[in-house]
Structure 1
Amino acid sequence: MALPPPSQLRLLVFDLDGTLIDSRQDLTNSVNAMLSHLGKPALPDAVITTYIGDGASMLVRRALGDPEGDLHDEEYVQQALTFFLDYYRVHKLDFTLVYDGVLQSLEAIRIAHPHLKMAILTNKPVNPSREISRALGLEPFFFENYGGNSFHTKKPDPLGLETLMHEAAATPGQTVMIGDSAVDILTAQNAGAWSIGCTFGLSADTLKTVAPTCLCNSPKQWASILGPA
Structure 2
Amino acid sequence: MTPFKPKLIVFDLDGTLVDSSPDISNAINLMLSALNQQTYSKQQIRHWMGNGVTMLIKRALTGELNPLTDPDNLQLAKRVFSDFYRQNVCVESQLYAGVKEGLDQLQAAKINLACVTNKPALFTSSLLTEIGIIDYFPFIASGDTYSRMKPDPLPLLEAANFFANETEHALMVGDSINDIRAGKSAGFKTALVPYGYIGKYSCDQLGADYQIDSIAHLSELLSLAY
Distance 1:3 1:77, change over 3 A: farther
Q: Tell me if structure 1 keeps the 8 A contact 2:103–2:216.
A: no
Residue 221 of structure 2: aligned partner: 225
* TM-score between the two structures when normalised by the length of structure 2: 0.92
Residue 181 of structure 2: aligned partner: 186
Shift of 1:68: 4.6
Residue 43 of structure 1: aligned partner: 40
2:71 partner letter: H
> Take 2:149 and 2:165, find their aligned partners in 1: how far apart are those partners?
20
Residue 24 of structure 1: aligned partner: 21
Shift of 1:44: 2.0
Partner secondary structure for residue 50 of structure 1: helix
- Alignment partner of 2:132 out of 116, 137, 157: 137
> Take 1:200 and 1:87, find their aligned partners in 2: how far apart are those partners?
26
* TM-score between the two structures when normalised by the length of structure 1: 0.91
Q: What do residues 87-109 of structure 1 show as CA deviations (whole Å, max 9, x unaligned)?
A: 00111111011112111111111
Q: Tell me if structure 2 keeps the 8 A contact 1:120–1:146.
A: yes
User: Structure 2: any 5+ residue segments left out of the alignment?
Assistant: none
- Alignment partner of 1:84 out of 81, 86, 102: 81
> Take 2:177 and 2:2, find their aligned partners in 1: how far apart are those partners?
18
Point out the more displaced range, 200-209 or 30-39.
200-209
> Take 1:201 and 1:70, find their aligned partners in 2: how far apart are those partners?
27
Residue 33 of structure 1: aligned partner: 30
> Take 2:2 and 2:59, find their aligned partners in 1: how far apart are those partners?
36
- Determine if the alignment matches structure 1 residue 98 to structure 2 residue 82: no
- Alignment partner of 1:150 out of 140, 145, 149: 145
- Alignment partner of 1:212 out of 188, 208, 212: 208
- Alignment partner of 1:14 out of 11, 18, 26: 11
Q: Tell me if structure 2 keeps the 8 A contact 1:11–1:170.
A: yes
1:212 partner letter: A
> Take 2:2 and 2:194, find their aligned partners in 1: how far apart are those partners?
17
Runs of 4+ residues deviating >3 angstroms: 66-69
- Determine if the alignment matches structure 1 residue 70 to structure 2 residue 69: yes
Distance 1:45 1:3, change over 3 A: farther
Shift of 1:71: 5.4
- Determine if the alignment matches structure 1 residue 160 to structure 2 residue 155: yes
Partner secondary structure for residue 33 of structure 2: helix
Percent identity of equivalent pairs: 29
> Take 1:208 and 1:130, find their aligned partners in 2: how far apart are those partners?
32
2:145 partner letter: S
Aligned residues: 222
